[in-house]
Amino acid sequence: MNLADLNKVANAMVAPGRGILAADESSGTIKKRFDVIGVESTEDNRRDYRELLFRSKEAMSNHISGVILYDETFWQKAKDGTPLVKLIEQAGSIPGIKVDEGTQPLPGCPGELITVGLDKLAERLKKYYENGARFAKWRGVFDIGNGIPSYAAIRTNTHALARYAALCQAAQIVPIVEPEVLMDGDHSIDRCYEVTEFILKETFQELYYQRVALEGMVLKPNMAISGKKAAKRASVQEVAEKTIRMLKNTTPSAVPGIAFLSGGQSDEEATAHLDAMNRIGGLPWKLTFSYGRALQAAPQKAWSGKTENVAAAQAAFGHRARMNGLASKGEWNADLEGKKAA
């Protein structure tokens, strides 16, 4: 393991004004997105959609530091024969790959899940690295409910996250470590804070046990936020303040950066929360975004599967990327939302 090179990539992933595009939706997930816009989820349509994102020069060159790819996309070529990985590199972004293989029910823990995919991961990472991947992602998912998450689910998933991270670094790939506490449900922000804080502490304990070098990783957590069905949703400022406090209590300063997931927030909500956190200042790590829906909902709607809409979709993507790039520096405000990127 060359830690200096891992650290260089990790810092580039969280560079000021830039963040990560999560374009790693599984075939099942992107089908749901395409169903909403009336587009059939064929391999060609999935390729065409992602190609238009990667060819969005304003967004990719200025605001997107890296792209998380799904396995299918990683091996695809653009219409002109250029590998999609090369398009990302040519735009000045870093190709990454989602390496977990989804979730399965966790035995003995009703309603809870375990992320799978560690078997033969070392061999897969070697092939991804040889073909351009310089970072990877693994997601451990936790739900808040009656009696859950259980300690068994927390321990099992954080151990898997740490094993994955160690394998990545051995393959000279920067691991994005993603323990996600879902915002589904009616829980309060304080309950989310409590659960997420405990999970982050367990995550870093497991990373220590597996001898993962913190300087060569990026954390991708949820924010401390109210559940979608909560009777009272916390304000932007409360989310920012409690998320920062939670991270200061759990995340070592050796970690180069934190790239938040949007987790079902609306486009502007995810941007506003990121901006408010960066305005607090005095933080030991860089804070940026690793958004999927919060970057893609607008361009997907604009595109709707039509070639004549590609430019409009790229403009919509460029706008959201620019807004989040500003938020990563604490320079966003709601007034900018009406001014589309040129």
Whether 220 is a known active-site residue: answer yes
Instruction: Check 98, 137, 220, 242 and give the catalytic one.
Output: 220
Is residue 206 among the annotated active site residues?
A: no
State residue 99 phi and psi, 5-degree precision: -115, -10
C-beta separation of 141 from 103 below 8 A: yes
Q: What would the two tokens of residue 71 be? A: 């396995």
| DSSP alpha helix (H) spans, the chain | 3-13, 27-37, 43-54, 57-62, 71-74, 84-90, 121-130, 151-170, 189-209, 236-248, 267-280, 293-303, 310-327
Per DSSP, what are the bridge partners of residue 77? Answer: 83
Instruction: With both helix axes pointing from N to C terminus, report the angle between 43-54 and 27-37 in degrees, rounded to the nearest 10.
Output: 80
Assessment of whether the complete model's pTM goes beyond 0.75: yes
The one catalytic residue among 25, 51, 112, 178:
178
CB atoms within 10 A of CB 40: 11
CATH number at residue 49: 3.20.20.70
Range of the domain at 213: 3-338
What pLDDT, in 10s, does the model give residues 208-262? Answer: 999 999 999 999 999 999 999 999 999 999 999 999 999 999 999 999 999 999 9
pLDDT at 338: 80
Q: In this predicted model, what pLDDT tens digit does every residue of 169-205 receive, in sequence order?
A: 999 999 999 999 999 999 999 999 999 999 999 999 9
The count of structural domains within the chain is 1
